[in-house]
Amino acid sequence: MGILEVKNVGKRFGGLQALSDVNLSVKENTVHAIIGPNGAGKSTLLNCLVGKLIPDTGSVMFDGQSVLGRAPYEINQMGISRVFQTPEIFGDLTVMENMMIPCFAKRDGAFMLNAMPMVTNQKEVLERAEHMLEEMNMAEKRHMQSASLSRGDKRRLEIGMCLSQEPRLLLLDEPTAGMARADTNNTIDLLKEIAAERDITIAIIEHDMHVVFSLANRITVLAQGTPLVEDDPENIRGNPKVREAYLGETA
């Protein structure tokens, strides 16, 4: 029984069957990659997991509870954090404030009318955010406006924000898309470190095979809205069906 169980999920957009009969099981404390060619339905699947879309059929269970019909913030509060393809951070806020917000969400829940206490008095949140910044090696940038960070730093910040919530499952949507090689490698190292040191499950949607094979210990290949195969990386590499559907095209 995995931490995330996707059963028979289907989703239709008008005439397009984006997903059909998707079954997927993400085991706890693994790095599970979902790969597939463009239009395979990776993003649709991801959106079904986080509550942005509701599948037409099937079920999505997280830790034994259904996530269907829940709003994104509720699903996040259940323990799923999401990293976007282009870093989504609070651009108008400073790095430190960015880091504090998920800490508040962790402490206070989805809504709390915390209007009179001062931010500067929130000791545990401040400490936690500070700690997270140090872990992300961003402590010296804490007063910078986050919109002015480099792309790689934005990504680090976003991942740090997600981690500060101590999620059980971290979803990453092409985390290295559009990054320079050096930044990509840094991100891979960061994610490796996270996977090794934390009690966390990572599901990653990725295009870049270098990233996938550096990180994943389980891979699902999607093609035309259905899982083609699910296996260990070594086996995927050698699988002729995958080569044909995917690697053949890109390699």
Partner 1 sequence: MFGLDKRDTGVLIIVTLLALFAPIILNPFPTDSAMAQFNAGYPDLMQKFVIFGIFAIGFNILFGLTGYLSFGHAAFLGIGSYSCVWMFKLLGYNVIPGIVLSILISGLFALLIGFVSLRRSGIYFSILTLAFAQMCFALAYSVLSNPRFNLTNGETGLQVYANDPQWFHRDGLPDLPHLFGLSMRATQKIQVGAWEFQLNAGYYMCAIVMLICFYLAIRIFRSPFGMMLRAVKSNQQRMNYTGLNSRPYTLAAFVISGMYAGLAGGLLSAVDPLAGAERMQWTASGEVVLMTILGGAGTLIGPVLGAGFIKYFENIFSKINDNVLHSWFAFLPDGLEDFMVFIIHPFIGKGWHLTLGILFMLVVIYLPGGLVEGGQRVLGWFRKRSAKPDAKAGKTEPAE
Q: Which tokens hold the place of 89?
A: 């951070």
By C-beta, is 100 or 245 nearer to partner 1? 100
Shortest distance in whole angstroms from residue 232 CB to partner 1: 30
Question: What is the spatial distance between Cα 102 and Cα 215, in angstroms, rounded to a whole number?
Answer: 25
Beta-carbon contacts of 96 under 8 Å, excluding residues fewer than 6 positions away, are: 129, 130, 133, 142, 143
The residue type at 133 = L
Shortest distance in whole angstroms from residue 122 CB to partner 1: 6
Report residue 102 CA to chain centroid gap: 15
By C-beta, is 100 or 242 nearer to partner 1? 100
Residues facing 218 on adjacent strands = 32
Burial class (CB in 10 A: 0-12, 13-18, 19+), 5: middle
Contacts to partner 1 by CB under 8 A: 50, 71-73, 76-77, 81-82, 84, 88-93, 97, 100-102, 104-106, 108-122, 125, 145, 161, 165
Shortest distance in whole angstroms from residue 119 CB to partner 1: 6
The residue type at 45 = L
Question: What is the spatial distance between Cα 157 and Cα 148, in angstroms, rounded to a whole number?
Answer: 12
Shortest distance in whole angstroms from residue 223 CB to partner 1: 27
Residues facing 204 on adjacent strands = 33, 172
By C-beta, is 170 or 215 nearer to partner 1? 170
By C-beta, is 16 or 147 nearer to partner 1? 147
Beta-carbon contacts of 181 under 8 Å, excluding residues fewer than 6 positions away, are: none
Shortest distance in whole angstroms from residue 116 CB to partner 1: 5
Q: Which tokens hold the place of 201?
A: 């499950």
Residue in 27, 43, 141 with CA at minimum distance from that of residue 85: 43
By C-beta, is 170 or 212 nearer to partner 1? 170
Shortest distance in whole angstroms from residue 84 CB to partner 1: 8
Shortest distance in whole angstroms from residue 71 CB to partner 1: 7
By C-beta, is 156 or 218 nearer to partner 1? 156
H/E stretch holding 220 reads: strand 218-223
By C-beta, is 152 or 225 nearer to partner 1? 152
In the numeric block, the tokens 């913030």 are attached to: 73
Residues facing 24 on adjacent strands = 6
